[in-house]
Structures are given as structure tokens and as C-alpha cells.
Amino acid sequence: MLKVALIQSHGACDPKEGLNKQIELIYRAKEQGAQIVCTQELFRTRYFCNRIDPRFFEWAEEIHGPTFQSFIEIAYKLNIVLIGSIFEKRTPGLYHNTAIVIDADGKYLGCYRKAHIPDDPGYFEKYYFTPGELEFPVFQTRFAKIGVLICWDQWFPEPARILALKGAQIIFYPTAIGWLLEEKQSFGQDQLSAWQCIQRSHALANGIYIASVNRVGIEGDERSQCIEFWGRSFFADPFGRIIKEAGEKEEILLAEIDFALIEKTRINWPFLRDRRIDLYRKITERFLS
């Protein structure tokens, strides 16, 4: 059995404070037996994309910046795989929402840059992030073959399918999703249910494990949209069942992963076998009239 931890926490007002807090939580996850640890989306700070402000670009870091250096040292010291979500400054004027992957020996395996960038009330990410151009890489870590997608990516079936076809056993989804306060009463439960449903469907349709980690807390003020991040991080198994789920407070969610269940599920539900790849060419077109 593989033990995997998701760190569900509050955003910080200062990047250094946020990094130090996350390091402390990673050590706690290791004490609980975690072998792979994944952070929430943009864990070092508050979710700044709920307003447009050029000052927030000062929070960005280069790929080999403070988070990278800290995670390299910790992964090596603790013998764990780390997945960390950062606000990446690739070059002046070019920024990404990026996840880095560090193996248990401290080796940097690569990164994934968020491909689907939302632009909705309270989620003004197109102002900050350039879409990533990496074609959904899979990372062979010491403990598992994994893929990483980020938040808005989770609503699209195509990336999950591609990662499954490339051999990923677990897909991690670092996330920042919540309710606009004025919408919670009317739409809150339906939004949460839809969020879980779409990711559970990825697990079931591909016979794969899903690990989705969200943030918690209310963020925003009179200058920005107030969002209540609902937490509820969860793991879904290859049958689409939620096997572990967090609440709406800060916590480390730990689950045991049994890879034998992937083959067992795919034998009984052979979706990959029965795909009609000869009929799917039109899927790459924007619209079919």
C-alpha cells in the first residue's frame, strides 16, 4: 500500500510565511507515514486572482526559486515525493500557474503548467497566467507513476484520459475552488457536488486514482470578490468511489492507495479496451455543426 497525503490549508498573506507553514505541514504528513505529499494550488499566498492588481506579480518566483530549493532538500531528507504548486515567473512578462514534482531522492523530475485558464467572477486568472504548452507529462517517481493537473483542468475529460493512456496511476489536482459568498446559499451544494462528480468520473472512466486538494478559508475584501474556499479535499479510487474526504477546515488528508485495484477495475470495466479510436478524430475540432 502507498500512503499519500494532501495538505489542505489556509492561504498566507506573505509568501515566506506560507512556505514555512507548508514545510511544517509536510513534516507532519511524513510523521503520519506519507510517501507522496501534494500541496493545494498557489499554497504560498492567499488566492490573489480574485482581483486584478499588478502588485501581485511580485509574489511570483522562478522555477528554481525558494519553493524549489526547499522542496529539493525536504524530499531528500524525508525520502518523500513532493508536488508543489507555484506562481512561476518564467521570464519578464510571462507567468504560469505551475506544479513542480520532486522525487524521493531530491531529484527534480519536471513541471506541469496549467493548460486551461479561467476568467470568471472572482477568478481573473487570465490576467496573471499564460496557458502552459506542456502536453500533460507523466512523472515516474520512486513510488508511483503520476500526473498533475491544476484546478480548472479538472473540468475537462481530455487531459485525464491522456494521462491515463500515458500510464499514470494517480492524477493530482492542486485546487483553489470555493463559493462566492453571495452565491453559496442558492448554488453552494450543487457546485460542490458537480466538482466532486466530474473528478470521480475521471477516476471511473479511466480506472485510475484521483487526488484533489483544495484550500480553505474566506479570502477577499471590499476591493475583490470574497470567496469561501470549501476544502473537502478527497481521494477517489478507480471505481469512482470517494475513499477519503476532508472537511472544511485545515487538515492533512491521508489515504492508502492499492494499485492492484487499477487492474482489477479495468478488467471488469474495460473502457480502455472498448474505445473506438477510429471514430474520435473530430474531437480535436472546436465545434461540429
Q: How far apart are CA 218 and CA 220, in angstroms?
A: 7
Annotated active-site residue 184? The verdict is no
Q: How far apart are CA 133 and CA 41, in angstroms?
A: 19
pLDDT tens readout for residues 14-56: 999 999 999 999 999 999 999 999 999 999 999 999 999 999 9
Going by C-alpha positions, the residue among 175, 176, 179 that lies closest to residue 226 is: 179
**In this predicted structure, what is the pLDDT of residue 195?**
97
Any domain includes 139: yes
**In this predicted structure, what is the pLDDT of residue 184?**
86
Annotated active-site residue 197? The verdict is no
Chain-centroid distance of CA 258 in Å reads 20
Choosing from 125, 151, 219, 228, the catalytic residue is 151
Choosing from 21, 30, 89, 114, the catalytic residue is 114
Going by C-alpha positions, the residue among 197, 135, 207 that lies closest to residue 171 is: 207
Any domain includes 47: yes
Annotated active-site residue 151? The verdict is yes
Any domain includes 167: yes
Q: Are strands 2-8 and 36-39 parallel, antiparallel or unpaired?
A: parallel
Any domain includes 289: no
Residue 172: which CATH number? Answer: 3.60.110.10
pLDDT tens readout for residues 118-167: 999 899 999 999 999 999 999 999 999 999 999 999 999 999 999 999 99
DSSP 150-192: -GGGGG-HHHHHHHHHTT-SEEEEE---EEETTTHHHHHHHHH
pLDDT tens readout for residues 184-202: 888 889 999 999 999 999 9
Helices 66-78/15-31 angle, 10° precision: 10
In the chain, the amino acid numbered 239 is F
Cell 511524513 found at: 30
Q: How far apart are CA 255 and CA 57, in angstroms?
A: 35
Q: Is the dihedral of CA 5, 165, 259, 234 positive or negative?
A: positive
**In this predicted structure, what is the pLDDT of residue 169?**
98
The tally of domains found in the chain comes to: 1
Q: What angle do CA 79, 80, 84 make, to 5 degrees?
A: 140
Q: How far apart are CA 156 and CA 198, in angstroms?
A: 8
Regarding predicted confidence, which is higher, 182 or 213?
A: 213
Helix (H, G, I), strand (E, B) or coil at 15: helix
CA atoms within 13 A on the CB side of 59: 26
Any domain includes 45: yes
Any domain includes 114: yes
Q: Is the pLDDT of residue 181 over 90?
A: no
**In this predicted structure, what is the pLDDT of residue 76?**
98
Q: Is the pLDDT of residue 10 over 80?
A: yes
pLDDT tens readout for residues 211-265: 999 999 999 887 778 999 999 999 999 999 999 999 999 999 999 999 999 999 9
**In this predicted structure, what is the pLDDT of residue 261?**
98
Choosing from 21, 38, 41, 89, the catalytic residue is 41
Domain interval for residue 273: 2-284
Indicate the helix (H) or strand (E) that contains 252. strand 251-257
